[in-house]
Amino acid sequence: MLLKKETLLIGKSLLILEETDSTNAFLQRIIKDIPTEGTVVWAKNQYAGRGQAHNVWESESNKNLTFSVLLYPKFLNLSHLFYLNKIVALAIFKALKNYLSHEKIEIKWPNDILINKKKICGILIENNLDQRLNASILGIGININQTQFSPWIDFKTTSLKKITQKDYDLHEVLSEINYWLEYYYLALKSHFFDSIDREYLQNLFGYQEENKFKIQEKEFIGSIIGVHKDGRLAVHHDGSVKNYYFKEIEYVL
């Protein structure tokens, strides 16, 4: 068991809901009423959780962490929005390392977390913009104590309990994540872009390795050589480097 870690910002204001449709949607509805940066909204049951590109996030009631974090990263240039994906992914990566020190944990571009090539976490970031970045809502879903999933995702999904056969205190795991999220958020605020880039690439699934990808049902072998500031994935294949936005290219695991 890990000791709960104190933070200065993330999670100091914590709103726990028995049930809601989506914690991101809930925060969007009340954002004007809760100006405190670092507010965390955690739903014990999220019945309409959303993932990237309108995917659904499946989560059994009272078994997992489904929560959202409110930030005001107005210091961040619009061309650097992808750094929010990087710091959230790194925070989850670091937190899970404390529970799964002997497992292979990787970040799957743009910001999924894989344990032994199976998905344990999904992240959905929604930004409120006009001429600049006003607010960001970081939606995070992590499989903790759930062991059974729908047949169409069970083979590619995992959880802490599926891996270790242990039950986990959700409050403790949330505290661990909040600690590391604050750590990386403060690093971002201090413009430590190079160190964030370096750590993200070090833990990126498939980085500088040959992997199978797919574009519009056509499969090919390529190697990730980097990630641009705007989030595009740089892949070397067919004799040249090509750059792809999210959903333009897929891994074939």
142 and 237 together in one domain: no
115 and 177 together in one domain: yes
Q: What is the pLDDT of residue 33?
A: 87
Contact 180, 96 (CB under 8 A): no
Question: Is 6 within the bounds of a domain?
Answer: no
125 and 219 together in one domain: no
Q: Give the position of tokens 């333009």.
A: 248
pLDDT digits (tens, 9 = 90+) for 155-198: 999 999 999 999 999 999 999 999 999 999 999 999 999 999 99
The CATH number covering residue 226 comes to 2.30.30
Contact 6, 48 (CB under 8 A): no
pLDDT digits (tens, 9 = 90+) for 130-147: 888 999 999 999 999 999
DSSP letter (8 states) at residue 76: S
Res 4 pLDDT > 50: yes
54 and 133 together in one domain: yes
218 and 178 together in one domain: no
pLDDT digits (tens, 9 = 90+) for 22-40: 999 999 999 988 889 999 9
In this structure, the number of other CB atoms found within 10 A of the CB of residue 25 comes to 17
Question: Is 137 within the bounds of a domain?
Answer: yes
Q: What is the pLDDT of residue 166?
A: 97
**Separation CA 226–CA 208 (nearest Å):** 8
188 and 229 together in one domain: no
71 and 193 together in one domain: yes
Q: What is the pLDDT of residue 34?
A: 82
73 and 108 together in one domain: yes
pLDDT digits (tens, 9 = 90+) for 191-224: 999 999 999 999 999 999 999 999 998 999 999 9
pLDDT digits (tens, 9 = 90+) for 95-142: 999 999 899 999 999 989 999 999 999 999 999 998 889 999 999 999
Question: Is 4 within the bounds of a domain?
Answer: no
Res 2 pLDDT > 80: no
- Of 202, 225, 241, the residue that ends a domain is 202
The CATH number covering residue 37 comes to 3.30.930.10
Question: Is 1 within the bounds of a domain?
Answer: no
Strand order in the sheet with 118-129: 14-17, 40-43, 65-71, 133-142, 118-129, 112-115, 105-108
Question: Is 243 within the bounds of a domain?
Answer: yes
Of 50 and 232, more confident: 232
- Of 184, 202, 220, the residue that ends a domain is 202
Q: Which residues touch 228 (CB under 8 Å, ≥6 apart)?
A: 234, 243
Q: Tell me the three state secondary structure of residue 172.
A: helix
**Separation CA 172–CA 166 (nearest Å):** 14
30 and 131 together in one domain: yes
pLDDT digits (tens, 9 = 90+) for 40-71: 999 999 987 665 544 566 889 999 999 999 99
Q: What is the pLDDT of residue 111?
A: 87
**Separation CA 126–CA 137 (nearest Å):** 5
179 and 109 together in one domain: yes
Question: Is 187 within the bounds of a domain?
Answer: yes
Q: What is the pLDDT of residue 53?
A: 46
93 and 214 together in one domain: no
Res 1 pLDDT > 90: no
pTM: 0.94
Give the chain's domain count.
2
29 and 83 together in one domain: yes
Domain that includes residue 223, residue range: 210-251
Q: Can you say how many angstroms the Cα of residue 66 is from the centroid of all Cα atoms in its chain?
A: 11
Strands 233-237 and 240-244: antiparallel
